[in-house]
Amino acid sequence: MTPPPPHGRTELSLTPAGAPPRLRADAARNRARLLEAAARLAAEQGAANLTMEAVACAAQVGKGTVFRRFGDRSGLLLALLDHREQQFQAAFMSGPAPLGPGAPADERLHAFGPAVLRHEGAHRDLYLAAHRPDPVRRYTVPARLVRLAHLTALLREAGTDADAELSAHTLLGYLDTGLVHHLVSGRGLPPGRVEAGWHDLVSRTLARRDP
């Protein structure tokens, strides 16, 4: 029988970005059509201005269809993020090193932060809009759980003597979309300084390893 992890820690496994159960072919096509319309509107008007009514109109369906498929506006925005997240997950789970496999864990940890900052910087309005309505929900979305599991695994592989899962939460907190937006746009910090702060945080976390 496998003993429980120390200090009550929970083992996290890497899983792809979450999605609803596999849909019928026609339902999948309808969902793709709605997301295509939503992505086009978000690109034209900004994700913050996206509404369920506008998506229904653009896709030429009833508003109830959009609500049945995504639940609410937050669900729609999270579904839009899913495609972006799948692309990013492919980069750190199976892409080239040092972000992907093939490099030591500490190098992959250092590469992860700048990759997140650049990825979310390219889609910041969408990330901000998706996370704004429910501050608690953001911690349970599958995409964040994948990132948490990835960092937890790398920290354990690197041999940190800190609580790997809690340290992973700390690292993810540094990459919070709202915080980065505030630092770069509100405080005027150069993106390079934010990336340097990530490397410093990773180095300090790993410095706690036993000699």
Tokens of 61: 């369906």
Do residues 198 and 174 lie in contact, with contact meaning Cβ atoms separated by under 8 Å?
yes
pTM of the model: 0.74
Res 134: pLDDT: 66
Do residues 113 and 195 lie in contact, with contact meaning Cβ atoms separated by under 8 Å?
yes
Does residue 16 carry a pLDDT above 80?
no
Do residues 184 and 52 lie in contact, with contact meaning Cβ atoms separated by under 8 Å?
no
What is the percent of the chain with per-residue pLDDT over 70, rounded to a whole number? 85
Distance (Å, rounded) from C-alpha 10 to C-alpha 174?
A: 22
Domains present along the chain, CATH in parentheses: 24-71 (1.10.10), 73-211 (1.10.357.10)
Average pLDDT, the chain: 86
pLDDT digits (tens, 9 = 90+) for 128-184: 888 765 667 778 888 899 999 999 999 999 999 899 999 999 999 999 999 999 999
